[in-house]
Amino acid sequence: MSSNNLRLLVCLTAIFAAVPAGAEPEVMDVSRNADHAAMQAQLEGVIDAYNAADPDAFRSAYTEDAWVISMRRPIKASREEIGAAFTPGMSQYVFKTELRVLDVEVHGDIAYMIGRSTLTGEPREGATVPAFVEKRIYTAIFKRVSGAWLIHRHMESTSPVTDAEVPAMFKSPANDDGS
């Protein structure tokens, strides 16, 4: 196993061990740590670049070999694939996002961030797409490249906030509490 894969494995193990079952951690104040703030700024910068319809700025937030695992598209496995996948939508939507960071850990030049977000999409003038609001949970793995934290892996999913919001089809009939 390469050292990069080992570091990634350590980060992923930490992700799953960080939150006890059934617990929702408090939102972190990332402004107290320069690395954490830089990572959050990178995620917010992606939205800013999207809204400015600036594909170059959008792509520059990602490592060359980044992955994006999105809810509605196949895995994109390079900076160029990510840019090509998201650029067409830049003419359709303006996004607003609210990030709530729940956990961040830094391990050398690799770090992860877990959080919740609310993404609001409004159609641009003349676009015929529907407006939407989605509550999401995300995991972002960052890699420090030439001193800057770039997005190396990013995964998102819609996520209910409480067990009561879990659709019945996903609840186990074996447990009365729906878990």
Residue 35 lies in a domain: yes
Coil, strand, or helix at residue 67? strand
In DSSP terms, which residues pair with 113 in a beta bridge? 104, 140
Indicate the number of domains in the chain: 1
H-run or E-run covering 20: none
Residue 62 lies in a domain: yes
Residue 164 lies in a domain: no
Q: CA-CA distance, 179 to 159, in Å (whole number)?
A: 15
What CATH number is associated with residue 68? Answer: 3.10.450.50
Residue 107 lies in a domain: yes
Q: What is the mean pLDDT of residues 88-117?
A: 94
pLDDT of residue 14: 46
Burial of 72 (C-beta count, 10 Å sphere; 0-12/13-18/19+):
exposed
Residue 127 lies in a domain: no
**Binning pLDDT at 50, 70 and 90, where does residue 32 land?**
confident
pLDDT of residue 31: 72
At 124-175, the pLDDT tens digits run 999 999 999 989 999 999 999 999 999 999 999 886 656 666 566 555 555 4
Residue 81's domain comprises: 3-15+28-90+101-114+137-159
Residue 23 lies in a domain: no
pLDDT of residue 54: 96
Residue 80 lies in a domain: yes
pLDDT exceeds 70 at position 176: no
Q: Enumerate residues 6+ apart whose C-beta is below 8 A from 121.
A: 93, 94, 95, 129, 131, 132, 133, 134
